[in-house]
Structure 1
Amino acid sequence: MHPFRKAVEERDEAAVQAMLADDVVFTSPVSYQPYVGKPITAAILRGVLRVFEDFHYIREIADPNGCDHAFVFEARVSGAAGKKVTGCDFLHFNADGLIDDFMVMVRPLSGATALAEAMGAQFDRIRQEASELASN
């Protein structure tokens, strides 16, 4: 099992954060603009762990050189009548073995909409956490 998958499935926020490059670019399935930097990306991922229930990966796909990985997942969006989503985390690892590109896709549209609403409801908290991480 890939260390990223293990950290996420164990909800080990510190381990996930440690795998992020300082200049990581996070592309959300529900936001037009990507987010740049470790603090905001780590805070968004914490938020995702709060809004997803029964999160689990069902497949890992990796390129032969080990820099690109795709992790297919299933989860339910909390507070959205258990709206089930299927998605994929597309990760690129830099030469230091850290994630420098993190893109997420989610389906169906109704699930992505529920995710956008759930994440939007806590984005003030996410920004606050990112600010605290940036000042440490």
Structure 2
Amino acid sequence: MHAFRAAVEAGDADAIEALLAEDVVFTSPAVFKPYTGKAITAAILRGVVRVFEDFRYVREINDTGGRDHALVFTARVGDKQVTGCDFLSVNEDGLIDDFMVMVRPLSGLQALAEAMGAQFDRILADAETGSA
């Protein structure tokens, strides 16, 4: 997951998007129903890059087969410090086909959900146009 981690840490939205499978399933910590597809997942991740401050990965866990990965991170949303984990699975082409995020504490998740909700119209527009 070095390429994904490097792209996220560099804030390179195009490189992040290039690592997503067309049929990627993104599971948000804040909504019940997963999002399916590269365009909406990339748009959500661009939104997250805008919302998170002081983001950094602090730990990486990989399975021995190389398909499943967990990237533990810390970040700030406004005045709330959060800890989270990106759970990623890759397909046979090495592209991310499953992306689930967990975030704690609850107050940080609530701040994240509010910040993302405030820009969700922009996220949907970005998904339709494929732009940042």
| TM-score bracket for the superposition, by shorter chain length | over 0.9
Q: Map 1:24-103 to 2 at 5 A.
A: 24-77=24-77, 80=78, 82-103=79-100
Partner of 1:105: 102
What do you get for the CA RMSD once the two structures are aligned? 1.1
Q: Runs of 5+ in structure 1 lacking a partner?
A: none
Q: For residues 133 and 26 of structure 1, what CA distance do their matches in structure 2 show?
A: 17
Q: Runs of 5+ in structure 2 lacking a partner?
A: none
Q: For residues 118 and 39 of structure 2, what CA distance do their matches in structure 1 show?
A: 19
Provide, for residues 1-24 of structure 1, a one-character-per-residue CA deviation record: whole Å limited to 9, x for no partner: 711111000001000000000000
Q: For residues 116 and 72 of structure 2, what CA distance do their matches in structure 1 show?
A: 20
Cα deviation, residue 128, structure 1:
0.0
Partner of 2:19: 19
What percentage of residue pairs aligned between the two structures are identical? 69
Partner of 1:9: 9
Q: For residues 91 and 39 of structure 1, what CA distance do their matches in structure 2 show?
A: 17
- The one-letter amino acid paired with 1:117 is E
Give every structure 1 segment of 4 or more consecutive aligned residues whose post-TM-superposition deviation is greater than 6 Å: none
Q: For residues 70 and 2 of structure 1, what CA distance do their matches in structure 2 show?
A: 12
What is the TM-score of this pair, normalised by structure 2? 0.97
